[in-house]
Amino acid sequence: MTPIINVVRIGVVAVAIAIPTMLVSKSVGSAKARVAEEQNPAPKAGTASAANVDYCSPDLKKILRRVLTACGLIGGEGVRGCQPVQAKSVATMTGSDFNALFRPMKERGGIIEFEQGKTDLGPEDTQLIDKIFADQGGASYFFVVSRASPEGSVEKNRELSKLRAENVMTHLRQQFNDPDLDKEVGLLWLGEEFAQLEQEFCTWRRTGDPTQCKGEEINRSAFIAWIDCTL
């Protein structure tokens, strides 16, 4: 056998061995890449949980748990409401700090304004209540925080704010066939004594005269909102 033929045969054998080796190496490399991809997937676009949105700070969650427990929605038989003295002790913070917790809820909430000394709801009020309540999303609790302006006695303003909250609840019962309503709605009536709304809340969705908004007007009100926090 000539040297040239031997060289050709050796070359053919070498190529025949190299091809399967390359294929195996490529297959192993692809498998490793797949494993690495499964263990470290490419980042996906973030989605906010419907029940734990950005405004759910530790402070807000702490206050919510206290309020929900005191008002009967956690560990109780359902809605019963919290009066001004209870609200102060439950919140354990100043009125302005309490209001600050709710600022990020502007897009989820609204303010129902009442005439001085009045507690009844008009068509504009019920329309806004229905719109906000129907937009539950993934939320578990609906808050109704009612107030009164400083005119008149403390006792009278407590009663006014209580009736305002209760009238919102009465409307919800009549409008929505929700068997869980008593465990979803938290009522706080604050009178004039705690957490009066500042002027900035005039920019929220609200009923009443759209051309003016004074401090006493914005506080003859019931603040309403679904709260999406997971407690």
Which string of DSSP letters, residue by residue, matches 108-137? TEEEEE--TT-----HHHHHHHHHHHH--T
H or E element that contains 186? strand 185-189
CATH of domain 58-227: 3.30.1330.60
Contacts of 200 (CB under 8 A, 6+ apart): 103
C-alpha to C-alpha distance for 88 and 160, rounded to whole angstroms: 18
Domain spans in the chain, listed from the N-terminal domain onward: 1-46, 58-227
The 10s digit of each residue's pLDDT in 173-209 is: 999 988 888 888 888 888 998 889 999 999 999 999 9
Q: Which two tokens stand for residue 52?
A: 């734990």
Beta bridge partners of 146: 189, 222
Residue that is written with structure tokens 């050709």 in the block: 8
The 10s digit of each residue's pLDDT in 114-170 is: 999 999 999 999 999 999 999 988 888 898 999 999 999 999 999 999 999 999 999
Banded model confidence at residue 95, pLDDT cuts 50, 70, 90: confident
The angle, 0 to 180 degrees and rounded to 10, between the axes of the packed helices 84-91 and 58-70 is 140
The C-alpha torsion from 145 through 168 and 53 to 70, rounded to 10°, is 50
Specify the pTM. 0.71
Q: Is the pLDDT of residue 44 over 50?
A: no
